[in-house]
A = this chain, B = another copy of it.
Amino acid sequence: MTSPSAIQELVNRVRSGDPRALARAISLVENHGAHSTEVLKHLFPFSGRATLIGMTGAPGAGKSTLVDQMAREYRKQRKTIGIIAVDPTSPFSGGAILGDRIRMQAHYADPGIYIRSMATRGSLGGLASTTADVATVIDASGRDLVMIETVGVGQDEVDIVGLADVTVVVLVPGMGDDVQTIKAGIMEIADVFVINKADRDGAERVEREIRAMQSLSVRSDSWVPPIVKTVATEGSGISDVVSAIEQYREYLIEGSAGDHRRVANWRKRITEMLRDALFRRVVVDYLGDGEADRLAAEVAEHKRDPYSLVEQIVGELGKHP
């Protein structure tokens, strides 16, 4: 695919909802393939219509089951869905791919649900940035909702789900403080809390802990994140989660909080994209592999200090701005 007309054709097919074109465009974007930027430039004007829902929580919290059940619920409302399952821990677990296959089977027959999994490995640029680009492609394909699901509770996950319009944090009773501790960081990103496996002992305690934390939390808006209890395996509480998300979305539309959030998210994304683009320009194009190796060897032998070296390279680049 080298010609502008081939790119335009792919873009048109993605917009028409063709799942094979969608898969191809996503692969292109995910692998930062040739013309991925061109494809994104063409699709971007058609994005921004879908609601992006970020879902995160500790491993074992039952997020995948919850996402599945929510997808079913949305399908009852005749909404079309894209699901991006991101696994930042995959160098160790390879979990996303497995989860993808298992769930692919369940939804195989329904073209209204498109599932895609992503792993850290092989992702050039930031994982959050790539996930956002993939969400843009699915968004532009005309899906009503894009659900972004992450495995784990680290900074990567915060970055990824932070780019969504609505962030759902999934907790479960009885996982102990070591795995899931509800600290300040989680309060800042959660718009909706879900206590899954709420039929287990300790659900009330988790709720009390969230409430206690909320009284200390400093949100930039006036929203008080609701707490919804579910038993995803039995399908109970799912419609409450969907309603809570819808309420927050309405809250965003009514006030200016939604605009602020989108601008803040875009600022983060643009700066991240700039970081990557500058890096490629300087390290890949300007410096090149051979020179980078030669300089690294000099530093390793302590013939040069890396701090002065970096200042020098950046200085040279910007001499005539």
Contact = CB atoms under 8 A, between A and B. Distances in A.
Nearest to A275: B279
Nearest to A283: B271
B307 A37 contact: yes
Given A262-B300, A263-B296, A318-B317, A89 B154 contact: yes
Interface in A262-282: 262-267, 269-271, 273-275, 277-279, 281-282
A36 to B, nearest CB: 9
Interface in A296-321: 296-297, 299-300, 302, 305-311, 313-314, 316-321
Interface stretch (A177-185, A213-221, A225-233): A177-185
Contact of A270 (B41, B91, B95, B295): B295
B320 A274 contact: no
Contacts of A181: 92-95
A267 B293 contact: yes
B92 A310 contact: no
A171 B197 CA distance: 29
Nearest to A262: B300
Contacts of A310: 270, 273-274, 277
A170 B73 CA distance: 42
A151 to B, nearest CB: 10
B275 A313 contact: no
A111 B192 CA distance: 48
A155 interface: yes
A223 interface: no
A145 to B, nearest CB: 19
A251 interface: no
A234 interface: no
A158 interface: yes
A48 interface: yes
Given A44-B305, A45-B302, A320-B320, A92 B293 contact: no
A180 to B, nearest CB: 8
Contacts of A316: 321
Contact of A152 (B94, B154, B185, B275): B154
Contacts of A108: none
A208 interface: no
A88 interface: yes
A155 B120 contact: yes
B297 A271 contact: no
Nearest to A58: B92
20 contacts: A45-B305, A88-B154, A89-B153, A89-B155, A92-B154, A92-B186, A121-B185, A127-B155, A155-B156, A266-B297, A267-B296, A274-B279, A275-B275, A275-B278, A275-B279, A278-B279, A278-B317, A281-B314, A286-B321, A317-B321
